[in-house]
Structure 1
Amino acid sequence: MMRIRLPKRWVSLLAAVSTLVGASESFAQSPDNLMPYSMLRSLQFVQDSVVLGDHSAAEMQRFMLTTIDARLRDAPPSIFADPRNVDAALIYAMSGGNPATLELLVAKDVDGNFDTRVADALRKYLSGRGTLIAKGLGAMVPEYRKTRIGPYLALISGNVTLAQDPAAALKFYDIARLEAPGTIVEEAALRRSLAIAVEDGDATQGFKYAQRYARRFLHSPYASQFADLIVALSVRRYEHIDEHLITDTVALMDKDRQRETYLRMARMAMVAGKEKLARIAAMKARDLSADLPVIDGAPANLYESLANIGTPDVVSAIKTITSIPDEHLSDRDKILREAARVVAEEVVRPPVASSASPASMDVTHEGTPVSADVETAAGEQQPVTENSGVWRSPTPVLEAPSPEYQNTLTSGRSKLDEIDALLKKEGSLP
């Protein structure tokens, strides 16, 4: 028989579990005869400890699930006359327990201790047929509010409703987190509510969920998923939110997590074409990297320079990009840097002269003047003013583009297609 080694800090909890006294006098006072509801309390304590940051509790969680499973299977049907034990069995099944155990208990329930509606809904949900019972399960949520199983039913109802009705799912998640604050149920409900906001929900409300999560569950083993969601929310919904929502939310994290979040945000924003957000996030990450070795600050410098390619600082951006050593960048960032280098070189490439089209001699393929004067349609020359910089000059009308001009366009488009292919291949495009 395989033996499970537990962290020392959980030995005391295991000892406490083994000394609990059963509620029925017909049972001996031994670990094998503890009441299921007593054992479940220990499981809940362990699971809540995990999401609050005690990762050493994960092994204890597996031990508790195994122990409760054995206890429920061996328990005589008479102990389920106590509703607390019925609820324990149902919550165990909804907390990562063995679905077959619930099937066994319901099959042995000749006295009708289990609510067959709940049991049947859970059996379908745990077997992957949750959409079939979404309506019926949702109807039971109000009935079971303020009960031991209420928050769990609300969480599951949100899960099975999410695909077809995100707004309704959000209401179920609200019930779950409000009735079980500080628990694994609230952690899951907040994370999934945030996911809804990323896709099509209220972005401002999404940041409120994110701030609650950051205050309570920043050290959860699921916090990396939370970081991905907050980055996606910031990038995808940037035009619909106030910038301070992003900075206020990230400020709730420790310095290392702030830096990592801003780096992820800068990269995703840059790839998504959100240059302003990319620049802001990269600068934040760079400032947070000030006390770190140069290699740790390289990604922030890269992303900030990439965001500056579309600005008058393009030349400086190219210098920074090309000066970053390969060993300071990941393989993904090397691909991104190469793509940006090609684009930047096309931006600053001098025009190709053409005798067939005098009007195009001093104009790039974007219609940007590269000499001190621009030739007008009437054949006169007018000085370039300060307000007609590289991005503001009107594009001259060319009646017959030269072959060289067409070649430049074709070459540029080809390079951009190659860049898109590289980015899609590495899976960076959202």
Structure 2
Amino acid sequence: MKRRRNAIVLLALSCLAAAPGRCQTTDAPASVRAGRPSDLIRALGETQDRLAMGDAGAKARLPALIARLADEFLAFDPQLYAQPRNLQAAVAYTLGGGQPRVMRRILQSGVAPQDQTDLAAGALAYAEGREDKARDLLGKVDPLAAPPSVAGLLALAKAALTAKTDPAGAARLLDQARVLAPGGLVEETALRRSVVLAYAASDFSRFVSASSQYFRRYARSLYADDFRRSFAAAVARFGLADEPERRSRLAELLGEMDESYRVDLYLNMARVGLLTGRAASARAAAEKALDVARDGAAGARARLYAGAAKIVGGDFEEGAADLAAADDAKLGRDDRALRAFVVRLASQLSSQPRASERDEAQGAASDDSSASKLIGAAELSLSQTAGLLKGGRP
């Protein structure tokens, strides 16, 4: 009790020093004076939505805000959580990345309305990583019938819980999340996850549609760079060089983006194409990047990837010229390692004896096999030394 009185005195003194004449003191916690628990969740939602808009400051403030809100939720009289609106605010806090101790305390108090306990207990299980329990409890709650304050977050959580066992159902839930909570972090997250699910299901139409919406709506998101790398990897692995219709739809999608963003995507696509054995895709993407960026680091990377793809495809002379034009000083460490390996690859392939006309087809097949083995060795070597395939930039 003495410690609490001292804290109140210190608070009053600091307030008077900052704003004399405007400071009032009371023995009640600030959160109790604020009104209801339902008033608190707005601050968290607004801050998280700022992340989707690219506000780095909001990301820096978020951990402290989550911790402070936990204290404020717990400072209220537990009986307030017998009111559905206040309990739902605590559910939204929990599903939105809040500390599980808030919901744990509320459930222990036994005040939650009976018809809300599955939602509350499911949110707690989800926050604690007890997926089976969360799946069972939240599976009984329909996001479309849930209160607006929790509906989008609930759909997002249920999609995460069912993505492996029911990808189609998870995709529908992500669509619901976007409709129920548009214009913020819930929708941004739902779009990102929709692209991942579409890729896993080889659903190219959904992949392009969700990607297009993401790039148009959330290009400035703090998660956009990670999304862009994943998108480039997925595009390369879809094998677009062999699908004219897909190439056309992709070109239309990329045409919606600003130039620097588009170049970076093409470079990532070229790199992933090389490291996954899709030389034609890599060459096409690198040449697209060169059409726009011929100088600087982007130009050096584009020439490197174009040259490497040409060499793998058997065009040694033109590929070597591209490699020579790729300024080593403008390449990152990983790309310099890739360039050194491709130079050795070109030397080995070009030194192989040419097949006679009679054996030309057989010799070409042999060359393809040798190139494939060397690229496989390159992938292994680079993944071990530079982290290209595990943890590095795709």
TM-score by length of 2: 0.81
Gap change, CA 1:350 and 1:268, over 3 Å in 2: closer
The superposition leaves residues 31-64 of structure 1 with CA deviations (integer Å, 9 ceiling, x where unpaired) of 5522222221122122112211222222443343
SS in 2 for 1:309: helix
CA distance in 1, matches of 2:317, 2:123: 62
- Structure 2 gaps of 5+ residues are 1-26
Gap change, CA 1:113 and 1:89, over 3 Å in 2: farther
- Structure 1 gaps of 5+ residues are 1-26, 352-363, 378-392, 397-404
Q: 2:380 maps to which residue?
A: 421
Q: 2:200 maps to which residue?
A: 199
Q: 1:395 maps to which residue?
A: 362
CA distance in 2, matches of 1:309, 1:409: 11
Q: CA deviation at 1:251?
A: 2.9
SS in 1 for 2:191: helix
Q: 2:338 maps to which residue?
A: 336
Q: 1:321 maps to which residue?
A: 323
CA distance in 1, matches of 2:272, 2:376: 19
Kindly name which structure, 1 or 2, has the bigger radius of gyration based on alpha carbons: 1
CA distance in 1, matches of 2:281, 2:375: 22
Q: 1:118 maps to which residue?
A: 119
1:306 aligns with 2:308: yes
Gap change, CA 1:32 and 1:285, over 3 Å in 2: farther
Q: How does 1:56-71 map to 2 (within 5 A)?
A: 56-71=57-72
Gap change, CA 1:245 and 1:107, over 3 Å in 2: same
Q: How does 1:103-114 map to 2 (within 5 A)?
A: 103-110=104-111, 112=113
Q: How does 1:369-408 map to 2 (within 5 A)?
A: 369=356, 374=357, 393-395=360-362
1:33 aligns with 2:33: yes
1:245 aligns with 2:249: yes
CA distance in 1, matches of 2:38, 2:168: 34
Q: CA deviation at 1:423?
A: 3.3
Of 268, 273, 278 in structure 2, the residue corresponding to residue 269 of structure 1 is 273
Gap change, CA 1:172 and 1:411, over 3 Å in 2: closer
| Structure ranking higher on relative contact order (CA contacts 8 Å, 6+ apart) | 2
The superposition leaves residues 197-234 of structure 1 with CA deviations (integer Å, 9 ceiling, x where unpaired) of 22224122111111111111111111122112211221
Say how many residue pairs are matched. Answer: 358
The superposition leaves residues 5-40 of structure 1 with CA deviations (integer Å, 9 ceiling, x where unpaired) of xxxxxxxxxxxxxxxxxxxxxx98965522222221
1:257 aligns with 2:216: no
1:349 aligns with 2:346: no
What is the one-letter code of the residue matched to 1:263? L
CA distance in 2, matches of 1:152, 1:410: 50
The superposition leaves residues 167-226 of structure 1 with CA deviations (integer Å, 9 ceiling, x where unpaired) of 221111111111111121111111111111222241221111111111111111111221
Gap change, CA 1:315 and 1:151, over 3 Å in 2: same
> RMSD of aligned C-alpha atoms?
3.1
> Quick check: 1:155–1:176 contact (8 Å CA) kept in 2?
yes
CA distance in 2, matches of 1:409, 1:155: 46
What is the one-letter code of the residue matched to 1:332? D
1:156 aligns with 2:157: yes
The superposition leaves residues 118-172 of structure 1 with CA deviations (integer Å, 9 ceiling, x where unpaired) of 1221222111111333244233125634632121111111111112222221111
> Quick check: 1:203–1:233 contact (8 Å CA) kept in 2?
no
